[in-house]
Amino acid sequence: MSQAKIAAFFDLDRTLISVNSAILYARFERKHGRISTRQVLSTMGHSLLYHLNIGSMEKAYAKAMRHFTGVLEHDLVRWSKDFFEEEVKPRLQPGAIPVLQAHRKAGHALVLLTSSSCYQADYACKAWGLDHWIANRFPTEEGRLLGTYHKPLVYADGKVFHAKAWARDSGVDLNRSYFYTDSYSDLPMLEVVGHPMVVNPDPKLRAHALRNKWTLLDWRQAASAMPRMQEA
């Protein structure tokens, strides 16, 4: 029997990129007149709660998605592409590039694991050479968004739920796999993998990582320290 594969999972916001893409997207939508200034401020508030791991992200996400009720999915796909090319693609952190390359060379599956939309995740994988993505998906009817999302939300314990399902279907051993993130909200997923990797973390996650002697990485510079790679 062949040995199970190894995967390297990557968070997007404040990990692969240095900022929160939800805030960038709200500003992008405001610039194009599709949302109000009040909605931008609301998104910024919810993003802060996300970063601090407080409040209900399910309620916040549900509220945000109601705004898209009835929108044609192909329009959202097009807007997402324009947004990604303009605001997200140029923000890949310098230190992430050699790590992605090293995991690819080691034969690991590269997986984007993000609370962002499936549309943005797909563009990110294509742009940066990742193999798979796990992100939030949105039901449609006759090509129009219903203003909801498929549960569970890809967030906190929801990331673990979706990652385990993907790993089971893909023949991946999570105990030998890696997960890179900045956020304490991702603690459940960090505790599932064999190699938790903490990137420019929030204070709460940094303290937890130091107590548990987890690897701490700074991706703001291209010459950042490299994690040790396990061969697939």
**pLDDT tens, the chain, 232 aa long:** 357 799 999 999 999 999 888 777 766 666 555 554 455 445 544 555 555 555 577 887 788 788 889 999 999 899 889 989 998 999 999 999 999 999 999 999 999 999 999 999 999 999 999 999 999 999 999 999 999 999 999 999 999 999 999 999 999 999 999 999 999 999 999 999 999 999 999 999 999 999 999 999 999 987 666 787 776 6
CATH number at residue 136: 3.40.50.1000
Nearest in space to 103 (alpha carbons), one of 7, 173, 197, 167: 7
113 in a domain, yes or no?
yes
224 in a domain, yes or no?
no
Domain encompassing residue 136: 7-217
85 in a domain, yes or no?
yes
Total tally of structural domains belonging to the chain:
1
User: What is the C-alpha to C-alpha distance for residues 103 and 115, in angstroms, rounded to an integer?
Assistant: 22
**Is cis: bond before 203, omega within 30 of 0?**
no
229 in a domain, yes or no?
no
226 in a domain, yes or no?
no
32-to-25, 26, 28, 69 alpha-carbon distances in Å: 11, 10, 6, 18
228 in a domain, yes or no?
no
Q: Would you say 155 and 116 are in contact if contact means Cβ atoms under 8 Å apart?
A: no
222 in a domain, yes or no?
no
pTM of the model: 0.89
232 in a domain, yes or no?
no
